[in-house]
Amino acid sequence: MSGSEKHAGVGLYWVFCVILCVITAFEWAIFKYKEAWSVSNTTLVASLIVCSLIKFVMVVGWYMHLRYDIRMLKNIFIFSLIGASLVFTGLVFVL
């Protein structure tokens, strides 16, 4: 982190907190009301995976301060995430 960069204020942390809560509420609602809303299992799983991925990226990137780390550490993390995602996707299609 260079000397000119400083951490965000508390207000921005609250904004991220509210966004994460809204996404979590959507996940809960789509699971709870899937029959009433006629949501197929494929759509349910896809939407839950997308929401979870968005929340994961937000938590890692914001609350764990990944944006302040050196580029090499970010690249290692992103490479590992992509590798794990590819392994998971491959296993889904194999099993």
Each domain of the chain, given as residue ranges in start order, spans 9-64, 69-95
- Collect all residues with Cβ–Cβ distance below 8 Å to 26 and sequence separation of at least 6: 51
User: What is the 8-class DSSP label of residue 63?
Assistant: I
User: What is the 8-class DSSP label of residue 49?
Assistant: H
pTM of the shown model = 0.72
Element holding 12 (H helix, E strand): helix 10-32
Mean pLDDT by runs of 10 across the 95 residues of the chain is 64 92 96 93 90 88 76 87 87 81
Single-letter amino acid, residue 20: L
- pLDDT value at residue 95: 73
- pLDDT value at residue 48: 92
